[in-house]
Copies of this chain bind each other. A is one copy, B any other.
């Protein structure tokens, strides 16, 4: 780990003030240890700026001293983008304010370190909706969600995080502040910089605040159905959208074995519709009137039953019942961890190709490891599957961990053969950087590299994430 000069440290501490930094080994250990624990970093210095101006002054100092920075939000990422590996860590944890709410303009300005739930609650108090929703919403921060362009369960209707921002405030690698906190819905005044910083994983600057888009509140109706094949699940999506249009907010596929896992792991969960069929779909339709939503979902499911696309279906009769459906869905990732070794990928393919992808990819992996089991769940409405290869619970030999590279190689090749993406919503970070440089069109990688060099010529901003330099 690079030694920081006394000059740098003294100037940094002056900028940040006594509460704004730490060299305590426990603190340093904590920010270098992401929650999943499959990798670990290190850092010589933790900065906790309280204002955009402090952040800017510190970045300027880093640029002068060629000190590399890893910006950090809630440390919930999955691709090793926000964990320092020798860089100093700039944590946004003290910048959590809501700067303003404008209900008429349907916007709010919030600082980067605020967790997602803060934005959701502020919107709710203004009688509006901030629709991004995902499992880690109590911890994941606005800045991190924008930097990784987070997804979640409502993308089908509302888009990803980049679609939910109107403006950004960013500290550039030079230490200059770009105030682009526009509350405007239309603003064609040059290259759209906010879309460049969104999804850049902190490699082009540090997002310090954002203007978020708010939406009208909606009434939600959830339904849980059983299906006999992935083909039927995809056909069901088209049928439900024929009836409900783009008010279909979520359309999640859940395999039977994941329900068994959740039930074994979380005692009070109950399968809403016990069935021998291999797939369930959890869908949500949301409209300004619950009665309208219920009417279209009932009609859609009636037609689906006639067309033999679903076997059984239950529409939640209460908020509590809907929450019990969603609890199962949200618990899958954690329960899977309890289940033993799992090799996990977050991939997407065109929606129309999901069934063939699953067949083809499973078959290719079974050729390598005949006893593999698959836990495949996620946002089928977006073509996004969380695809996990597991071992049987009673496996006598544990071969999976040793085959990680070969299994990932198969998945990546299969995804590319189906015109898909090997990182749908989790991002690139350090974990997928080299693989993406192998498969991404060379023209795209070269363009990205040219942009990185132009904006961060000294390569201080989260170096070696997203692209190698």
Contact = CB atoms under 8 A, between A and B. Distances in A.
Interface stretch (A259-267, A305-313, A317-325, A422-430): A422-430
A193 B187 CA distance: 19
A182 B180 CA distance: 29
Nearest to A160: B186
Q: Identify which of A196, A288, A454 gathers the most chain B CB atoms within 10 Å of its CB.
A: A288
Contacts of A178: 441, 443-444, 447
A149 interface: yes
Interface in A378-400: 379, 382-384
A413 interface: no
A104 B352 contact: yes
A299 to B, nearest CB: 9
Given A428-B188, A444-B190, A182 B421 contact: yes
A105 interface: yes
A148 B384 contact: no
A216 B191 contact: no
A369 interface: no
Interface string A236-252: 00100111111100000
How many of chain A's residues touch chain B, expressed as a range?
35 or more
A188 B427 contact: yes
A426 B187 CA distance: 9
Contacts of A107: 350
A383 B185 contact: yes
Contacts of A198: 192
Interface in A202-241: 204, 215-218, 234, 238, 241
A351 interface: yes
Nearest to A216: B245
A102 B441 CA distance: 23
Contacts of A82: none
A246 B445 CA distance: 37
A440 interface: yes
A215 B296 contact: no
Given A104-B238, A450-B455, A384 B199 contact: no
A466 to B, nearest CB: 6
A451 B448 contact: no
Contacts of A199: 188, 190-192
25 contacts: A102-B352, A103-B238, A104-B351, A105-B383, A149-B192, A151-B186, A155-B186, A172-B443, A183-B350, A184-B419, A187-B348, A187-B424, A188-B199, A188-B426, A189-B422, A189-B440, A190-B428, A190-B436, A190-B467, A191-B196, A191-B466, A193-B448, A244-B288, A450-B454, A454-B454
> Which 7 residue pairs of A and B lie closest in terms of their CB atoms, listed nearest first?
A195-B195, A454-B454, A104-B352, A245-B288, A186-B424, A450-B454, A216-B245
